[in-house]
Amino acid sequence: MRPPFTDIQRIKRQAKRTVDQGHLDVRRWWSSKYSRPHNDPLFGTRPIHAWISEMYEDAYERVRDLETLLDDPDIRQEERRNLSQRLRKLYKMLGETDEDKAIGEDPLIDQWEKDLDEGRMPDLDAPVPARKKM
């Protein structure tokens, strides 16, 4: 039989602290990657910084894979848009949200696609942005 919850405020504070510390994202990533429940005791077998490091390693590996797929000149436009959107989400998660970061071959088209992805009408009269040296 479960004990009744007696201190809801304490539980809420703990939940907020977990979210504020970024542990919730790590637990969700871990749960998804290893197909385990988020409260599985195996999560506690390694320190949190080890899981965070592995999560970022996986993210950088996905970035590399998506960038490689985007280099294929024969990729369909719809698939390119989908891959670009996934890549932007990863860049955002990794804190690499530089507005001038070109994802495709043409920075102007990249900007238009970004505007459309965010629900804005692209400015078709905007000047061509300069490419940023990588």
Q: Could you read off the pLDDT of 56-81 as tens digits, one per residue?
A: 999 999 999 998 898 888 888 889 88
Q: What token pair was written down for 25?
A: 């994202």
What CA–CA distances, in Å, run from 122 to 17, 94, 110? Answer: 40, 26, 10
pLDDT band at 101 (very low <50, low <70, confident <90, very high): low
pLDDT band at 103 (very low <50, low <70, confident <90, very high): low
Q: Which of 40, 87, 39, 80 is nearest to 61 (CA)?
A: 87
- pLDDT of amino acid 57: 94
Output the average pLDDT for the chain.
Answer: 82
**pLDDT level of residue 4 (50, 70, 90 thresholds):** low
Judged against a pLDDT cut of 60, whether residue 54 lies above it is answered with: yes
Please give the share of the chain, as a percent, with pLDDT higher than 90. Answer: 25
How far is the C-alpha of 47 from the C-alpha of 117, rounded, in Å?
Answer: 37
At 133 the pLDDT is: 45
